[in-house]
Structure 1
Amino acid sequence: MHHIGRARLAVAAIFTVHGAAAGTFATRIPWIKDHVHASAGGLGLALLAPAMGSILAMPMVGRLIHRIGGRTATRVFAALFCLVLALVPFAPNLLTLWFCLLLFGATAGSCDVAMNAQGVEVEQALGRSIMSGLHGMWSVGGLLGAAAGTLAAHADLDARIHLPIAAAVLVAAGYVIGFWLPESRAAEDVEEPPHFALPGKAVLGIGFVSFCAVFAEGAAADWCAVYLKDVAHAGAGVSASAYTAFALMMAASRLAGDAVVSRLGAVRTVRIGGFLSIVGGVLVVLARTPLPAIIGFGLIGLGIAVVVPLAFAAAGKAAANAGQGVAGVATITYSCLLVAPAIIGGLASITSLSLSFVIVTVMTVLMTATAGKLRVADAKPIPA
């Protein structure tokens, strides 16, 4: 049992490294925007590239995990992801930046699939829910990376110095953690996944629940600060606190999620979370002052946080190959990150921002209604 406990800690640590790399990048977007002299629209297009890179790479990862094993795949992609992070600030113009961010997304998404597949395997060996906590550690990593990045930005540290230093630290951490990751190889009789695996029928239903949750997550994360400023008439500091409230609630919900899932099961947990996020969505739509809007965004974060980890757990168990199942749901989930912020922005420009958040609330209703698709996540595996 000892080595399974160690494997669980190692997978949690890799999630933290991945989150820290993402959080580090997010804080330096304003510097990168100025460096390549991008307009808001140009930056918007560049920021679509990571999701596109992920969607193109993810369907190919299942086969690679089958070939080289889960541990090697996770180590290689974690290192590549951090190395691309170091390259991003050296892009001289918008076009080069776009290609750098496409690579950034492809390596991030590939690492995401590999580490989630490892998480599903450790969860099955332990015989209890751990996926929510692993995603909680990703959020903790994101907050740590963002905190360090905020300090670097305040100190006016050039991102061409900051990001390579951050990347070197994270590559070193990933290298050491890699020794304790579980070595998972497919059984001899398991058929090799195709080169480019599209989600199967069982995974599509699970993916839909995940899609609804990520739609709400992407819209809230990208638009909450703007919403507070434009709709609730908050100042810059208060507007920024909306994202903090949202991110902290997501992290807290995920860290506590496994205990709740163990007690109530995946389906009931998602339904209760769905109810909280619907209340949050309604509060946001009706809010005309900062406080109800901040509470609303916090409730959305609290309610949707456990859905993606549970969807990955369900897909890993529903498919013949954990990597292939995770890749299927991850592809659907990341494609949502492409469309959600753009749909909200488009609707807001035609109607109003508060009306466009009605769509977010509708998505949380659909997520709650289809929660039954995650029942397979509750299937109790035989502990190894």
Structure 2
Amino acid sequence: MTDQLLRARRGRMAVAAMFLANGFIIGSWAPQIPLVLSRLEISETTLGLLILIFGLGALVAMPWCGYLMSRHGSRAMLRIFAVLSSFALLLVALAGSVWAAAPMVFFLGGTIGAMDVAMNTNAVTVEKRLGRAIMSSSHGFWSLGGFFGGALGGLAIQAFGHLAHAAMVTLVTLAIVAAAYGYLSDGDKPAPSEQVRFRWPTNPLVYLVGFMALFSMIPEGAVLDWAALYLQQEMGSDIATAGFAFAAFSATMATMRFMGDGVRNRFGAVNTLRVSALIAASGMMVAGMAPDAWTAIAAFAFAGLGIANMVPIAFSAAGNQPGVASATGMSVVTTMGYSGILVAPSAIGFIGERTGFAPIFVSLAGLLVVVCLMAGLARSADFVAHQPAE
């Protein structure tokens, strides 16, 4: 094994650890959200505005991180924002009023969003070094971190309180980041003579790939925020049953993400994306037309199998666009894609209140069919390795 290949494989594990840490913070934030309502004595409307501020922080930071990476590379930015995001949840937990919480929530969303862009860009660098796909399994580690963060968070808060929980999240995240810190790949750092002023790309393919990411993530956000309510209000299921909707969706998505790199390496990004989009569309269509709750849950689980690899392929395509720096392409596509989770669900809730959620899930299947038709635009994800694996 060459020294270069060994460094690439260490870089692969290091960036996987960063995905794990990012997912762990997001998962740990989820059980803290209801406590913000009670401890700050605010209304649900105000809490909704704070959640929107979280999303705005991410959407503002993502293109800014792209500019910084165009000058300093993804490794430097990933290190900085990983450390900053480790403390962000603790700062939110320390806030004693809504006016103090608002900027801290913006900081949490911003650091998480910037870290997300940097780690996805760094994963593209590792893919080029290894000569094989690693993006899907990297997102699998993110899902795994989110699972542990959410599952353990409620128990920790109940046992030790919200502040102690936030402090523990900071310590655990810092430990993960420290273990990965020295092994991250740095192959995308521009030479001083190559540093240019950040510009929005003129290549329209970058924005079309961004729409593919957006159309893939809107259904994910819809299942996350509204599937349980759909099962309760429109199918009469109890709370326990309704909770299985996103749980089943997440389980199949995480499992498929760990399998996805092998599938993509064998069949290619375009074919994998095309079939994945059809599977996801079928699942969402059946979920919207399901006669009972358990059929809908099974359909959401089937949709998770398809959605799992769609966003990782779109991100790989963004980072490998000809004539566009990886940092620039990634910042554009992540910003567009994550708005599907951070912003679109609020509009879905507004519409669903008036029409019901069944027609919405059927309509979202149409977006996934559009991704299937656009799958050829992901051809750049089938890159030629800089250094083939041995």
TM bucket normalised to smaller = over 0.9
Structure 2 CA distance, aligned partners of 1:324 and 1:166? Answer: 31
Q: Once the 2 structures are TM-superposed, how far is the Cα of residue 191 of structure 1 from its aligned partner?
A: 4.3
Give 1:231's aligned residue.
Answer: 234
Q: Once the 2 structures are TM-superposed, how far is the Cα of residue 337 of structure 1 from its aligned partner?
A: 2.4
Q: Is the 8 A contact 1:218 1:340 kept in 2?
A: yes
Give 2:345's aligned residue.
Answer: 341
User: Which TM-score applies when normalising by structure 2?
Assistant: 0.93
Give 2:266's aligned residue.
Answer: 263
Equivalent positions of 1:291-306 (< 5 A) are 291-306=294-309
1:12 partnered with 2:16: yes
CA deviation vs aligned residue, 1:208-245 (integer Å, no higher than 9, x gap): 11110011111111111111111221111111121111
Q: Once the 2 structures are TM-superposed, how far is the Cα of residue 52 of structure 1 from its aligned partner?
A: 0.7
Give 2:361's aligned residue.
Answer: 357
CA deviation vs aligned residue, 1:9-64 (integer Å, no higher than 9, x gap): 11111111111111111122112221122322222221111221111111121231
Structure 1 CA distance, aligned partners of 2:114 and 2:70? Answer: 13
Equivalent residue in structure 2 for 1:114, among 90, 114, 118? 118
Equivalent residue in structure 1 for 2:377, among 354, 362, 373? 373
Structure 1 CA distance, aligned partners of 2:58 and 2:202? Answer: 15
Q: Is the 8 A contact 1:218 1:337 kept in 2?
A: yes
Q: Is the 8 A contact 2:256 2:305 kept in 1?
A: yes
Structure 1 CA distance, aligned partners of 2:200 and 2:96? Answer: 35
1:98 partnered with 2:121: no
Give 2:290's aligned residue.
Answer: 287
Q: Once the 2 structures are TM-superposed, how far is the Cα of residue 367 of structure 1 from its aligned partner?
A: 1.6
Q: Once the 2 structures are TM-superposed, how far is the Cα of residue 162 of structure 1 from its aligned partner?
A: 0.5
Give 1:314's aligned residue.
Answer: 317
Give 1:144's aligned residue.
Answer: 148
State the secondary structure of the residue aligned to 1:180.
coil
Amino acid at match of 2:170: A
Structure 2 CA distance, aligned partners of 1:343 and 1:10? Answer: 37
Structure 1 CA distance, aligned partners of 2:363 and 2:36? Answer: 31
Q: Once the 2 structures are TM-superposed, how far is the Cα of residue 128 of structure 1 from its aligned partner?
A: 0.8
Amino acid at match of 1:119: A
Q: Is the 8 A contact 1:59 1:327 kept in 2?
A: yes
CA deviation vs aligned residue, 1:174-215 (integer Å, no higher than 9, x gap): 123101112332145534242x74685221011111110011
CA deviation vs aligned residue, 1:153-191 (integer Å, no higher than 9, x gap): 4x3532111111211221132123101112332145534
The CA RMSD measured in Å over matched residues stands at 1.7
Structure 2 CA distance, aligned partners of 1:186 and 1:241? Answer: 46
Amino acid at match of 1:169: V
State the secondary structure of the residue aligned to 1:292.
helix
Structure 2 CA distance, aligned partners of 1:71 and 1:82? Answer: 17
Structure 2 CA distance, aligned partners of 1:202 and 1:356? Answer: 28
CA deviation vs aligned residue, 1:137-162 (integer Å, no higher than 9, x gap): 11111111112113224x35321111
Q: Is the 8 A contact 1:82 1:171 kept in 2?
A: yes
State the secondary structure of the residue aligned to 1:183.
coil
User: Which TM-score applies when normalising by structure 1?
Assistant: 0.95
Amino acid at match of 1:54: A
Size of the aligned set, in residue pairs, is 382
Equivalent positions of 1:130-141 (< 5 A) are 130-141=134-145
Contiguous gaps of at least 5 residues in structure 2: none
Q: Judge which range, 253-262 or 63-72, deviates more.
A: 63-72
Equivalent positions of 1:158-307 (< 5 A) are 158-184=161-187, 185-194=189-198, 197=200, 200-307=203-310
Amino acid at match of 1:255: F
Contiguous gaps of at least 5 residues in structure 1: none
Q: Is the 8 A contact 1:57 1:110 kept in 2?
A: yes
Give 1:43's aligned residue.
Answer: 47
Amino acid at match of 2:52: L
Amino acid at match of 1:179: G
State the secondary structure of the residue aligned to 1:38.
coil
Structure 1 CA distance, aligned partners of 2:366 and 2:203? Answer: 26
Structure 2 CA distance, aligned partners of 1:359 and 1:297? Answer: 14
Structure 1 CA distance, aligned partners of 2:96 and 2:251? Answer: 35
Query: For the structure 1 residues 296 and 268, does the alpha-carbon distance in structure 2 shift closer, same or farther, using more than 3 Å as the test?
Result: same
Amino acid at match of 1:227: Y
Structure 1 CA distance, aligned partners of 2:268 and 2:381? Answer: 8
Equivalent positions of 1:119-130 (< 5 A) are 119-130=123-134
Amino acid at match of 2:24: A
